Amino acid sequence: MRFERLALERFGHFESLDLDLGGRAGLIVIHGPNEAGKTTLLRAIHGLLFGIDERSPYGFRFPYQAMAIHATLVDSAGQRLEVVRRKRRKDALLGHLRSEAGEVPLDEPRFGRYFGGVTPDLYRSVFGFTHTDLQQGAEVLQVAGLAELLGGGALGGGAETVRRVLGSLRDEADALFKSRGKNPPINRHLAQVRDTRAALRDATFQQPQYLALTQALRDACHTLATADAELADLRLRSARLHTLLAAFEDFHAHQRLVARLADPALATPLRPADAERAPPLIAELRGLQQRHQALEAELQRLEQRAAQHPVDHALLAESAVIERLVRRVETVARQRRELPREHARLERDHEALLAELTRLSPETARSNQPDRTATANNLSQTPADRAHLNLSQEPADRAQQDLPQEPSDRAHPSIAAITPAELEQVRLALSRWQRARQELQVLARGEADDESDLAALSTESAALAARIPDERGAALLAELEQVQAAHNELERGELELVRQDAELELALARLHPRPAAEALERLPLPSFAAVQDMQSRRLELDRERRDALDHLSQQTAELAAAEAELAQLADEDLPDPAQLAQARQRRDETWTLVRQQLLSKTGTDQRELFGAPGEAPSAARVRVADRRTLARGFERALADADLLADRLRADADRLAQRTALTHTAERARLALTRARERLAALAAAEQDWSAAWTNLWRPTGVPPAAPGPMLAWLGDAISLRDLAANRMRRARDLAPLRPLVVDFSARLRAHLGDPGSAWTALVGQLRAHERSAQTLRGRLEAAQARSAALTAALARTRTARGFLERDLQAAVADLQLRSTALGLAADLDPESAVQRLEALADLGERLAASDLQRAACEQARAALADFDAEVAALLARLAAARTTPGVHDLALRPTTPRDHAPEITTTHRDDLVPITLAPDECPEQRIEALSRALAEARAAASTHALASDEAAERRREQARLAAALSAARGEYEALLARAGVADEAALLAMSERTLLRAQLERSCADLDLRLARSLGEGQGRGAYETELLAARREALVSEQDALARAISGLDQRRLAAVEQKGRREHEAQQLGGDRAARLGAELEVIKTELEEQIDRYVLVHLAERVLDRVTDRYARENQPALLQYTSELLARITAGRHLRVVVQPETRSLAVVDNSGQLRLPADLSSGTREQLFLALRLAYILDYCDRSEPLPIILDDVLVNFDDTRAAACLAALRDAARATQVILLTCHRRVPDLALSVAPDTRILELHEAQHPRIQRPADA
């Protein structure tokens, strides 16, 4: 890759700098004074290739955003790269890559491909460096390792690989383990192993721990048992104390009571029960006496009250009758008012009905008249008369008079004969008659319609039958499908044939040479394989021919080259063996002289010995001379001989070369001859092929062209043949179809009578005809079916009409019969008869209703008379009762014997109500008065009864009191006798004493019981009592406190023991856990991982060391190309002062061999030479790199500072040579450098970089 143009915009102090670096390959020297911007230029090139530094120092004049570096580069493939570099984070590089193939955009990765593995740092240290870099490198040279210096030159392209592998192995090993690290996996796992081991130790439950645990458990159990026993004792004592304390008070109270009961003053003859009875008995006796007196007074008061209220017993005895009559009073009064009016109205209605009946049926009405009149008369009496009559007459008479009237229906039997059933039958007959008549009418209408329809249908059928065509059309239609298919096939086939004809014609026209179309089928075409075979043979021949020609031209070229070289060698001066012989002779002679001299101790003439070279020394003239001089002379002769021998050797080489060249030329000539022979053989083969080719095509009569086109032609011809055959087949298939279609068309035309129409129209017409004929036939069939149906219906109608007429006549006869039977005129038309009958029936019903009402009226009259009779009877009974004595006050007599006799009273009362009716008085009024008197009598009776009941009760109570009083008195007397006292007061005192003693005894017994409960019985109690008698309460309490404290302490001890036991038991139950097992497994896991990592580390580490050592040794043992380059360059730069660069295995470094053969380490060299060595190494590396990779331009900034003129010139010459491989740009501020460059390389381009302020480029005149 070379720069053609480099332009800086606003970079460093350059506002704009444009350098043309194109043109022929050669050294470019850019000269400029200090601060002209040479280093800026160098850094700009770095920036262009690898990007401008983040903190570039070249933004001091213009802002970063404005910086831009433009360049045009050309790569080794001749492609042109246009690149713009800006200082940006994104899209810093823009450009495109242009070649003959086109143009593509150039981005960072694509641009980066040019640098391969060259990083910015590597570029800076190898390809583009300053004098400072050179100096530093030269210093490093003294300490750097061999591999570093050689960079794997011995390994060729693999050096980078080895370096990379070494690096990766080292990285991997470091990542696995660091001797003082913490994080690498091995270090980490080691720590984990340590930790896990510790954890495992902690978690392991070992034998001593197990023994300790079981022992602790046993101890805890023992402690617990002891504490439990002790606690039981203490609790026993505590319970005893508790009992003693509880019984203490009771015990001493008991003792006191026993002492008190022993007092004799408390002894009495009375029993405690008697003592208790005495005071209440005395009080009871007094109370009874008082009560008896009070009852006596009460009884007297009650007797007085009963005497004040007398009772009317007769009236009370009739109370039920009176109450019943009172209930009827209101109804009777109303009936007495309304009955005559109702009777009159009914009679009037009856008359009206009879009149109606007469109108309807006069005979019936007449027969009823007299009875009706009598009844009406009977009813026309006044109520008062009737009442009077009823009351004064005997019931039997009344029954005779009030006989109910004859039922009214008996008076008109014809009406009653028309029962609803008969009437219903008459109605039924009527409705039958009416229905029959209606049906008859309908039937008559339907028959007429049917007849007219039938006539119309016959006419239509005839018309249709006339219009229907014959059957020929249908036959044609059946045939049509098949013929239609044939027709379509025919049309399609004909079209296809036409198309195939056209195709065939076209293909034939295209086929060149063109065979006859007719003969195509029979054309004997060669097989495809044969033609292909011929073609491949032809291709083979062509290829061989090309090869042969190539070979020929190559051999010709080789021969020419060899001959040219031979000619060149021939021109050169070849050595002369005679000269060599002469020189050897002279050496031998000199040697003989020397020997003689040495042996004879005589010297040789020095002057003769050192005569002009080439002149033979004369032995005779040799004189004795100084040995040293002789020796020098000998040496000189020897040197001459050697020189000549050397030259001879070189010349021999050249001779050998010439011989080799002659051989080469011979070989080339031989090969040339063979190539020509091969060509001739090929020509014969080609002729054979041509003949075969022509023979192949001869039968077809087609003049053959080249195999390629003929192959295509053959393909076409074969397909054409197939096409033609296909067409013929098709035509054959179609031939029989046409007559069929033509015949059918003729018949169709004849049928349709349309000779001119086309096929489609004909088919259409046929189908239309057939369709209409089909329709007509359908219609005719429908009409005939309908006509048949109508005829049948007509026949049915007529039959039905006959039946109906018969029905009608029967109905009329029946109706007439029925109306006559009901007494109607026989000639009445059926409807009027029914109306009349219905009116009669209605009248009958009304008459029956009227009779019912009249009967009810009669019943009411009878009830009225009954009432009056009952009143009269009541009054008579009452009157009788007044005249006999009553027993009203019987209930007041005392039931118990009394001091005074019972009082029997007989009352006759004048204030009672009268019991006879006044002549103008209504019975109802009398009944109401009686009712009032009855209420008063009842109130008086109830008061009397109450007083007598109460008096009886009091008397019974008085009797009971008297009995109790006597019993109490008896008891009192007995008590006094038992106590042996005379009066009430003494009895009471004695009773009191007795009671006190009884109470004391009860208390004593209670205490005794409680003591027995708390202390028990028997010996235990004895012990308790003894202790209680002896003990003091305070002593007992204090002992109890002490015991409580002891128990509490013991309880705590026991609790602790329980806890201890529980804990140990829990621990024992927890045993068998798996924590240690888990940790053991974990440890195993970590160890496994650790071992894996250690294995890997050992492997990688050893691999790195082995590779490093082997590579190093290999590099040393295989003299690398790099060293060769370096040696050559160093020898050249130092003008032969230092000859070679060699590897120094002991120090694993480089060493230099100078022209004196001495080996010198870099540290032994002058700084200038060291720089030169380093420069040589770099250039060697670059040359080596350019051999393998895309060349990159070299930029050197004043690297020749420490070089003297000779070495600088030599270095420039080396750079000039390097510039053939890649572009070399040398920046300098020294004037001598461009001059020197021009002197060693006249084609050097010198560019001037001017003043810093406004730098611009000036082309030198000589460039």
Partner 1 sequence: MITVVHAADLHIDSPLRGLGRLEGAPVDDLRLATRRAFVSLVDTCLEEQAALLVLAGDVFDGEWRDFNTGLFFVRELARLREVGTQVVMVRGNHDAESVLARHIPLPEHVFTFSVEAPETREYPRLGLAVHGQSYGARSVEDNLAEAYPARRRDLFNLGVLHTNAVASAEHGNYAPCTVAQLVRHGYDYWALGHVHRRMVLHRDPWVVYPGNLQGRHAHETGAKGCTILRLDGLRVDRVEEREVDVLRWAELVVSADAAVDMDDLLGQVRLGMQRALAEAGGRAVLARITIEGTTDLHATLAAEPAAVQAQVRALAAELGELWPEKIRFVTRPPLGEIGELYDLYQALRDELRGLAEDPAALARYSESLAPLVTAAAPFLGHRPDDPQRLIARLGDLESLLLARLGAAPPVPRASSIPHAASSTWAPGKGEDARPHEV
Nearer to partner 1, 979 or 1150 (CB): 1150
The residue whose two tokens read 């720590």 is 191
The answer to whether 11 touches 62, Cβ cutoff 8 Å, is yes
Q: Give the nearest distance from C-beta 203 to partner 1 in angstroms.
A: 7
Decide: residue 1166, CB within 10 A, 0-12 exposed, 13-18 middle, 19+ buried.
Answer: exposed
The answer to whether 399 touches 777, Cβ cutoff 8 Å, is no
Backbone angles phi and psi of 156, in degrees to 5: 60, -135
For residue 650, the Cα-to-chain-centroid distance in whole angstroms is 94
Q: Give the nearest distance from C-beta 124 to partner 1 in angstroms.
A: 11
CA angle 529, 532, 536 (to 5 degrees): 135
What does DSSP assign to residue 143?
A: T
Q: Give the nearest distance from C-beta 647 to partner 1 in angstroms.
A: 39
Nearer to partner 1, 131 or 432 (CB): 131
Dist. CA 1175–CA 1210, nearest whole Å: 12
**What is the DSSP code string of 994-1015?**
HHHHHHHHHHHHHHHHHHHHHH
Q: Give the nearest distance from C-beta 158 to partner 1 in angstroms.
A: 4
Nearer to partner 1, 153 or 340 (CB): 153
Q: Give the nearest distance from C-beta 1144 to partner 1 in angstroms.
A: 17
Q: Give the nearest distance from C-beta 1182 to partner 1 in angstroms.
A: 9
The answer to whether 688 touches 541, Cβ cutoff 8 Å, is no
Nearer to partner 1, 697 or 1181 (CB): 1181
Nearer to partner 1, 608 or 1112 (CB): 1112
Decide: residue 435, CB within 10 A, 0-12 exposed, 13-18 middle, 19+ buried.
Answer: middle
The answer to whether 1176 touches 1129, Cβ cutoff 8 Å, is yes
Q: Give the nearest distance from C-beta 208 to partner 1 in angstroms.
A: 10
Q: Give the nearest distance from C-beta 1076 to partner 1 in angstroms.
A: 4
H or E element, residue 748: helix 737-752
Tokens found for residue 53:
């530094």
Nearer to partner 1, 196 or 368 (CB): 196
Q: Give the nearest distance from C-beta 1185 to partner 1 in angstroms.
A: 8
Q: Give the nearest distance from C-beta 540 to partner 1 in angstroms.
A: 34
Q: Give the nearest distance from C-beta 1195 to partner 1 in angstroms.
A: 16
Tokens found for residue 231:
């606690």
Nearer to partner 1, 210 or 591 (CB): 210
- Sign of the torsion formed by the C-alpha atoms of 833, 835, 836 and 838: positive
The residue whose two tokens read 């040496």 is 635
What are 1163-1166's contacts with CB under 8 Å, separation 24+? 1163/142
Nearer to partner 1, 104 or 598 (CB): 104
Dist. CA 554–CA 668, nearest whole Å: 9
User: Residue 208, CB half-sphere, CA atoms under 13 Å: how many?
Assistant: 0
Q: How many angstroms separate the most distant Cα atoms in the chain? A: 246
C-alpha radius of gyration, the chain, whole number: 86
Q: Give the nearest distance from C-beta 1180 to partner 1 in angstroms.
A: 9
Dist. CA 733–CA 492, nearest whole Å: 12
Tokens found for residue 439:
């049906």
Q: Give the nearest distance from C-beta 1119 to partner 1 in angstroms.
A: 13
Beta strand 1194-1197 with 1224-1228 is parallel
Dist. CA 1121–CA 1180, nearest whole Å: 9
DSSP helix, strand, coil percent of the chain (3-state; round to 5) = 75, 5, 20
Angle between helix 1167-1188 and 131-141 (nearest 10): 100
Q: Give the nearest distance from C-beta 686 to partner 1 in angstroms.
A: 39
What does DSSP assign to residue 904?
A: -
Nearer to partner 1, 337 or 1109 (CB): 1109
Backbone angles phi and psi of 432, in degrees to 5: -60, -45
Nearer to partner 1, 37 or 1193 (CB): 1193
Nearer to partner 1, 315 or 1179 (CB): 1179
Q: Give the nearest distance from C-beta 1102 to partner 1 in angstroms.
A: 6
What burial letters (b/e) apply to 936-957, b meaning 16+ CB within 10 Å?
ebeebbeebeebbebbbebbee
The answer to whether 125 touches 133, Cβ cutoff 8 Å, is yes
Nearer to partner 1, 861 or 1116 (CB): 1116
Q: Give the nearest distance from C-beta 1120 to partner 1 in angstroms.
A: 12
Nearer to partner 1, 128 or 886 (CB): 128
Nearer to partner 1, 156 or 383 (CB): 156
Give the SS3 label for residue 309: coil
Nearer to partner 1, 178 or 893 (CB): 178
Dist. CA 575–CA 307, nearest whole Å: 212
The answer to whether 948 touches 892, Cβ cutoff 8 Å, is yes
Name the residue among 1175, 1082, 1070, 1166 with its Cα closest to residue 1132.
1175
The residue whose two tokens read 């208790």 is 276
The answer to whether 72 touches 81, Cβ cutoff 8 Å, is yes
Dist. CA 578–CA 1210, nearest whole Å: 40
Nearer to partner 1, 104 or 485 (CB): 104
Q: Give the nearest distance from C-beta 1114 to partner 1 in angstroms.
A: 5
Q: Give the nearest distance from C-beta 197 to partner 1 in angstroms.
A: 8
* Residues contacting residue 142 through CB under 8 Å, at least 6 positions apart: 1161, 1162, 1163, 1170
Nearer to partner 1, 187 or 358 (CB): 187
Nearer to partner 1, 270 or 1192 (CB): 1192
